[in-house]
Amino acid sequence: MIIQSIKEYPGLYLILLAAVVGCGVLWGLALRASRKRRGKRDALIAQLEREAALRREFAGVTREKLIDTPAERLVEGLCVCIQARLEEQKDMREAYDALTEHERLVYALGYVIQDGRENLSGFFKVNGPPLTDDALEAVLRFLDEGAAGIFQREFRAFDERNETVSLVREIIDSLDAEWARLREEAGEAFYGEVKEFILANSGAFLL
């Protein structure tokens, strides 16, 4: 019956074909959206599991722990510990403002590591002042000139208070790639100066 109708009305064939193609496109979009949601969910679960592991690992921080832990993991671990303390307070913003300079800089840099793990811009997409301001201070103080310059450019691009710099996706992608290259080439030395700072001020981090 349908085949006969198509023969009698060729226009019907075009309508059915368009419907099939449209359904296929919608199905493909639905699949991609599902994969994207699943990817975000899996990434969130992985992040929560990592944070839980770091909280267990740094539940008791000793001088030996500070010495033996690689620089990047040390900064992230101390950041997670400070975050746990902040979460126990009634007013987290007030508790954050009460942090010592040592804690504040390490805490902010820890979020650069955590939220910028895939791309540096990821940090700026989910954070704002005062954390981004403190992170900039930490980066300018502890990282080399090349990395600091990249961070500062992204900071200006994402800073809503700055109306003189526009956010250009291609430029951000290029900065992300350069940040990743420098971090990979430097290895442990990338956050090495931060670790020296932590060791020099270990009393501020021992539990």
pLDDT for position 4: 53
Look at the alpha carbons of 7, 10, 12, 14 in this order and tell me if their dihedral is positive or negative.
Answer: positive
pLDDT for position 60: 81
Check residue 116 and report its DSSP letter: T
pLDDT for position 15: 54
**How many CA atoms within 13 Å lie on the side-chain side of 100?**
9
Look at the alpha carbons of 129, 153, 183, 138 in this order and tell me if their dihedral is positive or negative.
Answer: negative
Can you tell me the distance from the alpha carbon of 152 to that of 183, in angstroms, rounded to the nearest whole number?
16
pLDDT for position 7: 53
Other beta carbons less than 10 A from residue 95's beta carbon: 15
pLDDT for position 163: 78
Contact 74, 67 (CB under 8 A): no
Reading the block at residue 56, the tokens are 């267990």
In this prediction the pTM is: 0.77
Can you tell me the distance from the alpha carbon of 119 to that of 1, in angstroms, rounded to the nearest whole number?
57
Can you tell me the distance from the alpha carbon of 158 to that of 94, in angstroms, rounded to the nearest whole number?
25
Q: Which residues of the chain have pLDDT under 70?
A: 1-40, 42-44, 207
Of residues 112, 75, 109, the one with CA closest to residue 205: 75
